[in-house]
Amino acid sequence: MMDTDGALGRIRDNPFYVLGLRPTASRAEIEREGQKLLGMLELKLASAATYPTPVGPGARTADKVRQAMAALRDPERRLAHEVWARLDPRPPPKDDLDDDLGELPPPEPPGEDPRAPWPEALSALGWRAR
């Protein structure tokens, strides 16, 4: 695979990401997906032109697909690529609550319990009774 920009290039060009498969894929699944992608690229389908990776989208070409299939046929090369393909290529879902939480009020202090092992602990830590 091409090593265009160091480690990021190795992750982006990982054969599993190029083929859109997880490291658990069987040899038959790899061959089937590779042939399917080659056909889609021959037809110039836009859906086959890019693929997701943990470091951003990669450009898929027929040559890259052929190289990926060849790399995954070799057990030693496949093992090395499996290690790097453990990252999920999809970005994490966006959580709307993370965007703007605003100013959160401090939590309410629990009432002091005289049966507690150290009843003055809350006041020693700066909590005031209401």
* pLDDT score recorded for residue 7: 80
- Residue 45 burial by Cβ neighbours in a 10 Å radius (0-12, 13-18, 19+): exposed
Q: Is the pLDDT of residue 13 over 70?
A: yes
Higher pLDDT, 127 or 55: 55
Rounded Cα distance between 87 and 59, Å, is 18
* pLDDT score recorded for residue 80: 87
Residues 61-100 pLDDT 10s = 999 999 999 999 999 999 989 888 877 777 666 655 555 5
Rounded Cα distance between 90 and 53, Å, is 7
